[in-house]
Amino acid sequence: MENSNIVKSGKKTFTEEQDIFRMNTHFKRLRLLKRIISHIVLIVFALFAIFPIYYVVITSLNSIGSLANATLADLLPSARLSLANYYSILFHHPFLLWMKNTLILTASSTVIGVALSISSGLALSRFRIPAKRALLYMLLILSLFPFTMMVIPFYFMFSEFHLLDTYIGLIIPYSAGAVIYSSYLIKNYVDNIPKDYEEAAQMDGLSRNSALFRILIPMARPVIVFAAVIAFMGPYTDYALAGQFITSKGLYTLAIGMYYVSQGTIVINYGTYAAFSVLMGIPIFILFFVFQKYLVSGFSLSTYK
């Protein structure tokens, strides 16, 4: 038996005497099988990911009073669908005021946080700073602490400064939180941009600092957008800090509003809760949709070569 004429594939062994077409068909089937299996795996995981969103949407359209009354049949679209939950949120509660409050808070803390992150990220990447490594480790360690841990110290601090129940009292911790994560992110991205670009700009007539700002910021746009979206998401959905600091109804954010609205007389009103979630998710959805292009490259941290 000549070894060179044997082809092994899994448990099957082909010799040259056997039909060459049969061998090829075998590999063709194998490839198809692999594709089917990977698709099944992907579909199962996609279902796990999509189901909660579907559940929230379908619950928001349901008029059942509480979870106790819910049946599996309620998971399917039925004749009982109604927009009552949405109507109640939009017209019986100051939803738009809460939205305005939230947007003021998130927009200003995003702008402040990202602006500070850009300067610190550029500095950490390009300048010689004493104890730079220690600083970087500190940023990394700080970003590991859960935000809720800070609620109590922040509360004491801001009560001293009389900043509780104000916009500023939330904007400061929100933007500080953004700086920790984003400056590290921006530094890493800028590290990968060759120095030639800002040096070329210096030769072209810019000072070192304006070369950094006028050339590197546009080049780091993907990561800046990414950092901004992350910085937006935190305060937008925050309840831990806002729920403790804000007491006046006129300053309620969406997250507080959601809690307030879904409190029924006896049980939590899940229909309203779900409808509120959907309404709250819409701006996030739009945000991701608009900046999709940047987010993809921000995630992959790919830069110019």
Q: What is the smallest separation between the CB atom of 199 and another protein, expressed in angstroms? A: 5
Please state, in angstroms and rounded to a whole number, the distance separating the CA atoms of residues 299 and 291: 12
Q: CA end-to-end span of the chain, whole Å?
A: 55
Question: Token pair 């300048």 is at which residue?
Answer: 127
Please state, in angstroms and rounded to a whole number, the distance separating the CA atoms of residues 250 and 174: 20
**Helix (H) or strand (E) segment spanning residue 9:** strand 7-9
Of the candidate residues 4, 162, 196, 248, the single one contacting another protein (CB under 8 A): 196
Of the candidate residues 34, 194, 288, 290, the single one contacting another protein (CB under 8 A): 194
Query: DSSP string spanning 280-302?
Result: HHHHHHHHHHHTHHHHHHHHHT-
Determine if 197 is a binding residue for another protein (CB under 8 A).
yes
Of the candidate residues 16, 19, 191, 199, the single one contacting another protein (CB under 8 A): 199
Of the candidate residues 201, 223, 246, 274, the single one contacting another protein (CB under 8 A): 201
If the CB atoms of residues 155 and 197 are measured against another protein, the closer one turns out to be: 197
- Output the six-digit token pair for 101: 């409050």
Number of residues located near another protein, criterion CB under 8 A: 19
Residue 129, phi then psi, degrees to nearest 5: -120, 135
Of the candidate residues 99, 136, 206, 240, the single one contacting another protein (CB under 8 A): 206
Q: What is the smallest separation between the CB atom of 168 and another protein, expressed in angstroms? A: 35
Determine if 203 is a binding residue for another protein (CB under 8 A).
yes
Contacts of 113 by beta carbon, 8 Å cutoff, 6+ apart: 174, 175, 176, 177, 178, 179, 182, 231
Q: What is the smallest separation between the CB atom of 203 and another protein, expressed in angstroms? A: 5
Of the candidate residues 140, 200, 286, 290, the single one contacting another protein (CB under 8 A): 200
Q: Which of residues 218-247 bind another protein (CB under 8 A)?
A: 218-219, 221
Helix ranges (DSSP H) in 127-245: 132-142, 151-160, 167-191, 196-203, 208-211, 217-219, 221-237, 240-245
Determine if 128 is a binding residue for another protein (CB under 8 A).
no
If the CB atoms of residues 2 and 204 are measured against another protein, the closer one turns out to be: 204
- Give contact residues for another protein (rule: CB under 8 A): 194, 196-197, 199-208, 215, 218-219, 221, 304-305
